[in-house]
Structures are given as C-alpha cells and as structure tokens.
Structure 1
Amino acid sequence: MPYQAERLPREKVLRDPVHNYIYIEYRLIMDLINTREFQRLRRIKQLGTASLVFHGAEHTRFTHSLGVYEITRQICDNFQRNFPTHTPGDGLWDDNERLVALCAALLHDIGHGPYSHTFEHIFKTDHEAITVAILTSPDTEVNQVLRSVSPEFPAQVASVIQKTYPNPQVVQMISSQIDADRMDYLLRDAYHTGTKYGTFDLTRILRVMRPYQDGIAFEISGMHAVEDYIMSRFQMYQQIYFHPVSRAMEVILSHLLQRAKEDYESPEAVNEAAAPYLLFPFFKHEFNLEDYLLLDDGTLTTYFAHWRQSSDPILADLSHRFLDRKPLKSVKFDEQSKAKLPELRQLIEKAGFNAEYYTDTNNSYDLPYDAYDPKMKKPLTQIELMQSDGQLVELSTVSALVSAITGKFSGDRRFFFPKEMLQPQSGNIELFDPIYESFQQHLHNDYII
C-alpha cells in the first residue's frame, strides 16, 4: 500500500562528518527526529565502553541513526533513478516503498538502552522488541507521528525491524550482511576512533547496488568494493569492537550493575541516600516502556557517581574503577589452559578480592561473512553478485579473498582479573608476594598475555 507524506517547502540539511550533508525532504522525518524518544538517543553513546579506549568515540546512537537514514535515502534515490518498476512484480524498485524504508532506517535503533548490550545482559531487556513497542505504542510521540500517515503505518515500519515486511528489498536495506546500518556504523566508528582501516568505498558500493525480485544484489563489476567492505568490517571487529580494554570495562560495568541489583535485594542496603529509584523497576523485572525511556547513559553515570560513596565497599570500588577508568587486565585462554582458571581465582581470593566481582571470562567472536544456511538459528542473507546476463552468484564463490574467511569465526576468549595481581598495591607486600608470584607464574606458563 503506498503511503504519502508532506514534503518540506525546501529540503533541510544537517551537517555530518561522515556523509557531509544529511538531506531531509519530508516533514514526517523532521517530526520523528524531534520526538522525545528519538532525542533520547543523543544521550546514548554508540560505542559504549569503547569510548574509554578511543577517546574520540563520543558519538551517539542519534548521529548513527541519522547516518543510516541518509544511506537509505541515497539507495532509494539510486533505485528510483536507475531501476524504477515498470510493471507490478518485475522485481524493480517501487518508490512507494520509500517512506517506510526511510522511517525504518531512522528508527531502527530507537529501542537501545544505556550502555546497550551490557544493560540488556543484566536486566534481560531486548532492544529490538522495545523498538517495536516504541513504534506501535499509542503512548509515544513516535507512534503519533507515524500514525499521521495512516493507522497501519506504525506496524508497517515495525515489521521492517522484525524482518517480516513483505518487500525483501526494504528489509535488506536495513538488515542484511551489507546494509545501511552496518555501512554507517563502520564508517562512523572508524572516523571517530581514528582508525583508517575501517573505511571503504561507500560511493562505489551504492553505485553497484540494484534491486531484484528477492532483495538487493550487487553488480559483479563492484565485487572488489564489496570485498573491501567485508575486510573493513573484519578489521573493525578485531581492532575496535573486541578491544580487550573495552571488554574489561564492560566486565566492570556488568559486575557493577549486578552488585547494585543484589544490594537492592538486600534489605539493609536499600535505604541508602543514593538509592537508584529509576532502576528499581528493572531490579524487580517489572518495568514498562515509560520506565525504560527514562534511562540513558547519563542516568546510570549519575548513579555510579553516588555509589562511589556507598557503604558497600565492592559497589563503591567498582564505581570508582568504571568512572575513573581502572580496567581489569586480561589474558587469552583456550580449552587446555581453561583448567587453570579455578586456581587463578583462588589466588585472587587469597589476595583479598571477591572473585565473583573481580574476575570473569569473555568470549568475543565475529563471523565476518557467511553464505546462507537454512539450518542456522538465524540464517543470514548472503551477498549476491549479478552478472551481465542477469544471473546471480554468491560472493564467496567468485571472491578468493572472501572465501578464505567465509564461515570462519574470529576472536578470542579472555580471563579478566584485577591489575593489582600484576602490580601489588598492598601495604604488606611481603605477605602477599607468594600469591602474586604464583599467579604470575601461572600466566607465563599457561597463558598468552
């Protein structure tokens, strides 16, 4: 069903460090940007704890969402200019789909919470489900703006996020192995972290994209630009997203929130002056959408500042470590060296640390690219290249470079522990020397530092 929206008298442009200008042609898009729920994304960092490693990475979900919108707008323009539909069902681009695509692109991350993935892990939230709730709840400003198009429009936009929208071209613009979301966050994260290897030729990729009956393909002449994108994504995950210090700060954050939750459940700790009232619904697993929308990075940071003075020494120390950037140290381990972890934890306990809060293991693996496999729990949309005769070939069958990493997970497993185990801070060093010496000996004998 085609949807129409009022155009602005003159397009509005927003300056952007990645895309130069972000062009806004519809009043609907401006109204969505100005909603309370979308403006909240200004207060949620895109990279979470990675900003504690790469000091320039202060960008937000707000700026990323605008970038995804802009790339989607450019895709729609390209499709309408070069591949407009002529007859229904011909597999070309129907520009009546533009509005739903633009709205889905803009709003795809609106359900993210503070320190997104760590918060989700502790409080069992689901940012995609919350995104759908924000779009479809009559109590949100976003829903009211979307309903100005039609009563069914909010559900239509939500179905793109849920990957159930009937047009696969629109779904793959927002969610596939090479989509507007990934392309923007790779370029944006590379720009703000100062890492050049995260860049790729966006202009060329957009040029060789084309719609077909089952989604989006890429002209085979652009294969090398697609390869460059795949390798950029691979490098960004290994060098930025899986950085051991960022993961160490995530461990501290996770344990900090877990400790606060346990303190809440302990009657003697609830009456502290810095009681985290906005988190109570999450501690009780009884939160609603309004509770969720009250939270952002600043809300949690304010609580952490209060908790530095907590009567609970573990909560106070973890707050200090997070706010003042005192990361845990880590070492890689494998199946063989994993057997030594209990001994390391015992030594850490003997040194005076609660191993539950000052140690952890973390597995960070990424699948740079994979071909479609219906047996996967969440099958991936493979990248299709279109040959001059219109036939499609899957990327890894013609690219030796991509074939080399297809289906292969990359990353590592790490054991996190207090830095003090390497540099004793105790006033009675002689008493603890055997503990530290034994701990460090284990590391050198059994681990890759």
Structure 2
Amino acid sequence: MTAPILLEEEKVFKDPVHKYVHVRYKVIWDLINTPEFQRLRRIRQLGTSLYTFHGAEHSRFNHSLGVYEIMRRMVTKFDLSIDEVLLCLCSALLHDVGHGPFSHSFEKVFKTDHEVWTQKIIEGNTEINRVLTEISPDFPKKVSEVIGKTYPNKMVVSLVTSQIDADRMDYLLRDAYYTGVNYGNFDIERILRLMRIVDEQVVIKYSGMHAVEDYILSRYQMYWQVYFHPVTRSAEVILRKIFNRAKELYHEDYTFRIFPEPMLPFFKDGKISLRQYLDFDEATVLYYIQEWCREKDRILSDLCKRFLHRRLFKYIEYDPNDYRMWSDLEALFYKEGIDPRYYLEFDSPSDLPYDFYRTGEEEERMPILLLMPNGDLEELSRKSDIVQAISGKRRFDHKLYYPEDMVSDEIRKRIGGK
C-alpha cells in the first residue's frame, strides 16, 4: 500500500452541524472533487420531505461530508493501522455515492439498489476508482466490501454501518437541524468519548448508557415524526405514480412532447450503464416533471401538477385487512372514471428502532454492547428499561391516500364511514 499523502495545508469545510469538517489526506480531498461525488450536491438527503419541512433542502453531499467528519473523530480514538484509518474514512465518505434521484421512491419503481450502485461506482470505470487505486490496486475492492458489509474486519464495517454508526449519527443530527425539529438531537460528544474497541467490536462504556438511550429515542422519534410523516409520504406516493405512469406510457408507444431520453434505460429493460446512471439526478427528473405538466395524457399531466404545486393526496387511517373497503373504493373509482391504479394507494412504512442480534434472520443486527465496570459486555436492552420497552418491536403506520378534490360525495361517504 502506498504511504498516504498529506495535503500541504489542512482543508476545512464550514458545517452547520459539526462546525467544521477537516481534511488532511490527499485521497479524501481528491475523492470529494470527483464528478461522482460532486453529483451528490444534486441529490437531496430527504427527498420529498421538503413538502412537509420547508428547510429540508440539504443534499447527500453535505451528509456524506458529515459522516466522514464523525468517522475522522472516531478513528483518532482507536489504535488502528493507517490502512484501516484510510479504509474507514473513504468508506464513510463514499457510503451514499450510489443514491439516485428521490432515492427510495425511484428505487421502488425501477428496482434499483443504491448500495449496489455505490459498489459499482467504487469498482467501475470512474474517477473515484482511479483515486482509490492510487492507494493500492485492491483498495477499491476493500472499500466496496465495507459498503457491502462483507469486509473481514467487522469492526471497520460496524463503524460505517451498524445500529450506532457514523451514518446514523450524522443523519439524525443533520436532518433534525434542517427540518427544524428537536427530536434528532442527542449527546454525540459523550457517545464518541465513551466508545471503546473490545474483541474487534465497538462498544460503549456503561457510564454512557443514558446518552445511547437518547440516541435510540431520537432515532425512534425522527422516523415517526419526520421520515414517515404522512404528508411526506403523500408526495412520495404521487412521485411513484408519476414514474409508473411515464413507464406505462412508454410501453404503450405513447408520443411524449419531449421524449425523456435519460429515463429510457430505466423504462426499457433495466440494463443501465454506469455512465447513464451517473448522468441521472434530481434536476433531470424535475425538468421532465415540469414538461409533463403539459402532456396530453391527463393522468400524467395531473400527477405532475400535483407534485410541482403541492396539491397532495389526502390520507386516512386504514386497516390493511379491510379488503371490503378496498374493493368498494376500487369499484367506485372505476365507476366515476378515476383510475385507482394512480389515484388510490395504500402505504404502510414500518421501523424497528433497536433490536438485538438474531443469528440467521433477515437483516441481522449487531447489538449495542455496554462495557461494564468489571470488564464484562452486556447488551444494551438488558440494562436499559427505556430501550427494552421498544427493543424488537416493529411498528407500522397504515394510511390510505386519495385525491379529495376529485372524488364524489359517495366516495367521501364510503371513506368517512370507515
């Protein structure tokens, strides 16, 4: 491995969350200045949340810098080799580089996975790959393995992605700052100060348990008060419907006013080249949504206008087992000439804020371990009544979305009679 080169003078970014982001290694500076990383300026961190919280305009770019800064502070505390330090820093910086426009809405429709694309960007024919290869020929593969959670050193992986990692700590603080809420705030200084490495895993000293409790509860509140806010989800529903409608029209040989050439690979067969994916950002999507407002297809035009002008769908609580209500509403929608495929949607996000390790189960989660005064390790929920109360409990929120301005009194009565 080539000895890492230090910059002649430390570079510093002003940051509203961490105050400063410090860059000493040339490889980090070079990665930040690659086209692939700069693209993250054009990908919002919170997608459609700006329809609910008008300040939520921040990007994946500043989040990624924040994750890097937290990781930089973490690695100074541990006795790591320079190889491991660089691996942690580069993985933290690049962990989100594969996100597409309106990340999760886009992924659901076009069956993409941002982590897979992150690995393709790191290992593919990109400037990021060239910069990483200057460290060593196998360094891009190592970074990719950390992102994919297959790197042999689980301690390195856990610093980047675990139940208490640099990624989560930054997005909770950053998203709370930009949305203007207080839910995501916790004592990151104390958590970082009390982190230790025991048996190649990151643990927290027992005296820091209450700071970790605050972190877990902050995460819980942010998901239900911000990330899963029903207004945000209404905008996501409409955005997904736009993508679905445009895709359907393409397969029906519909003639678009302005053909969405950049979206063709996503519409066609899903065989997307790395360059095509990297050319796609939110500015591109918003351009076509604005143009589609003038399409002759009434459904696509209406959905685009709703999204641009924030004329969102109304929502009600809904029991997913109430098949009778769903079938009644579908029939009424068709009767009134409203296509329920685009104007009626059931949405049900769920979250598991904290769980202990369950071997062999889907989405295995390493627990948060406390280092007790006698040197023993104890799983967090065994010592914290607060965490135990929410540990292992998956919560759902079922909502039914529909355009109130389009439906008849008969439909309103059927919905209201629920």
Same fold (TM over 0.5): yes
Superposition pairs of residues 30-429 of structure 1, within 5 angstroms: 30-79=29-78, 84=79, 93-137=80-124, 139-267=125-253, 269-270=254-255, 272-284=256-268, 285-420=270-405
Question: SS at 2:63's partner residue?
Answer: helix
Q: Which residue of 2 aligns with 1:12?
A: 11
Q: Which residue of 1 aligns with 2:413?
A: 441
Q: Which residue of 2 aligns with 1:430?
A: none
Distance 1:46 1:144 in 2: 26
TM-aligned CA distance change 1:336 to 1:153, over 3 Å: closer
Displacement of 1:412 after TM fit? 0.7
Of residues 64-73 and 318-327 in structure 1, the stretch that sits farther from structure 2 once superposed is: 318-327
Letter in 1 for 2:399: R
Work out whether residues 3 and 96 of structure 1, in 8 Å CA contact, stay in contact via their aligned partners in 2: no
Kindly provide the CA deviation profile for residues 388-435 of structure 1, in whole angstroms up to 9, marking residues without a partner as x.
2221000000100000000111231111111215xx6xxxxxxxxxx4
Question: SS at 1:197's partner residue?
Answer: coil
Work out whether residues 344 and 439 of structure 1, in 8 Å CA contact, stay in contact via their aligned partners in 2: yes
Letter in 2 for 1:329: K
Kindly provide the CA deviation profile for residues 163-197 of structure 1, in whole angstroms up to 9, marking residues without a partner as x.
11121111011100010000000000000000012
Letter in 2 for 1:386: L
Distance 1:66 1:338 in 2: 46
Letter in 2 for 1:347: L
Distance 1:42 1:336 in 2: 42
Note if 1:29 corresponds to 2:28.
yes
Work out whether residues 331 and 416 of structure 1, in 8 Å CA contact, stay in contact via their aligned partners in 2: yes
Distance 1:335 1:124 in 2: 24
Displacement of 1:338 after TM fit? 4.3
Distance 1:443 1:283 in 2: 34
Distance 2:8 2:388 in 1: 49
Displacement of 1:336 after TM fit? 4.8
Question: SS at 1:73's partner residue?
Answer: helix
Distance 2:404 2:168 in 1: 35
Question: SS at 1:419's partner residue?
Answer: coil
Displacement of 1:122 after TM fit? 1.0
Of residues 112-121 and 348-357 in structure 1, the stretch that sits farther from structure 2 once superposed is: 348-357
Distance 2:199 2:356 in 1: 19
Displacement of 1:286 after TM fit? 2.0
What percent of counterpart residues are identical? 48
Displacement of 1:375 after TM fit? 3.4
Distance 1:7 1:39 in 2: 22
Work out whether residues 2 and 134 of structure 2, in 8 Å CA contact, stay in contact via their aligned partners in 1: no
Kindly provide the CA deviation profile for residues 43-85 of structure 1, in whole angstroms up to 9, marking residues without a partner as x.
0000000111100000000000000000000000122xxxx3x
Question: SS at 1:372's partner residue?
Answer: coil
Distance 1:214 1:382 in 2: 14
Distance 1:338 1:235 in 2: 31
> Normalization by structure 2: what TM-score?
0.97
Distance 1:25 1:66 in 2: 13
Distance 1:388 1:95 in 2: 31
Distance 1:220 1:346 in 2: 58
Gaps of 5+ in 1: 85-92, 425-434
Letter in 1 for 2:188: L
Kindly provide the CA deviation profile for residues 336-368 of structure 1, in whole angstroms up to 9, marking residues without a partner as x.
534311112222333332111011111111001
Distance 2:13 2:76 in 1: 18
Letter in 2 for 1:388: P
Displacement of 1:110 after TM fit? 0.2
Distance 2:227 2:324 in 1: 27
Distance 2:168 2:73 in 1: 15
Work out whether residues 238 and 411 of structure 1, in 8 Å CA contact, stay in contact via their aligned partners in 2: no
Letter in 1 for 2:10: E
Distance 2:150 2:326 in 1: 44
Work out whether residues 320 and 398 of structure 2, in 8 Å CA contact, stay in contact via their aligned partners in 1: no
Distance 2:134 2:68 in 1: 20
Give 1 or 2 for the bigger CA radius of gyration. Answer: 1
Displacement of 1:124 after TM fit? 1.1
Question: SS at 2:54's partner residue?
Answer: coil
Work out whether residues 164 and 368 of structure 2, in 8 Å CA contact, stay in contact via their aligned partners in 1: yes
Kindly provide the CA deviation profile for residues 88-114 of structure 1, in whole angstroms up to 9, marking residues without a partner as x.
xxxxx4454100000000000000000
Letter in 2 for 1:442: R
TM-aligned CA distance change 1:237 to 1:338, over 3 Å: farther
Work out whether residues 6 and 25 of structure 2, in 8 Å CA contact, stay in contact via their aligned partners in 1: yes
Work out whether residues 371 and 394 of structure 1, in 8 Å CA contact, stay in contact via their aligned partners in 2: yes
Letter in 1 for 2:369: E
Question: SS at 1:78's partner residue?
Answer: coil
> Normalization by structure 1: what TM-score?
0.91
Equivalent pairs counted in the alignment come to 417
- RMSD of equivalent CA atoms: 1.3
Displacement of 1:266 after TM fit? 1.4
